[in-house]
Structure 1
């Protein structure tokens, strides 16, 4: 699985999510799933549906269990993890997953996206 994890601020637009995804995915294979915490999924659902990929809801405990190479004060405060996007991607991709792309920030600084790949079973 190649998962795109997302983190974003309240009031983020679909264009912001698309921008973050495009930056994170540049030069990589197509993603096969999206991932985000429950409170972020309503805005992300239309993009997942349009791209034909499942949307994985990542519990806060699963986010906090991930070690992320980057850190945002906002993510630490709200979720207890350095990067929501990186943690969501890693959690969705499964045990042993690695980041293919650290979090990228949308042009308007409202959304982040990271890409992780799980290890084959």
Structure 2
């Protein structure tokens, strides 16, 4: 099964913010991709973090993320993007229609980044 890391963050998040939240959420998963909200992938600290992980990045529109139901609701995320949780919705979007979240969304110590992991489950009849 493939694991996808969804990341939500404030524009002033640092590389340390990403590394911290990643350590909290990775828990033995082998990450095969990182996902976030379209436009955020251009942030310098995010680019540095992705370069460290050396995995593909997928970006998703506000509209596509807003359609996904997530267990967490972040007031700021709803106000700004109309998305309940950028990290959880991004992880689910990357994992595809059979995606399921693995555990709770985590927040970096400085509160600047959030992360969630979703697994791509096999669909019945898939080999």
What TM-score do you get using the length of structure 1 for normalisation?
A: 0.92
How many residues matched? 120
What TM-score do you get using the length of structure 2 for normalisation?
A: 0.88
Q: Which residue of 2 aligns with 1:55?
A: 57
CA RMSD, 1 decimal: 1.2
Q: Which residue of 1 aligns with 2:86?
A: 84
List runs of 5+ in structure 2 lacking aligned partners: none
List runs of 5+ in structure 1 lacking aligned partners: none
Are 1:31 and 2:40 an aligned pair? no
Cα deviation digits, residues 48-106 of structure 1 (max 9, x gap): 22211001011112201110001110011111121100000000110021001321000
Q: Based on CA coordinates, which of the two structures has the bigger radius of gyration?
A: 2
SS at structure 2 position matched to 1:107: coil
1:74 to 73, 76, 81: 76
2:106 to 100, 104, 107: 104
Does the 8 Å CA contact 2:62/2:83 hold for their aligned counterparts?
A: no
Does the 8 Å CA contact 1:45/1:55 hold for their aligned counterparts?
A: no
SS at structure 2 position matched to 1:56: strand
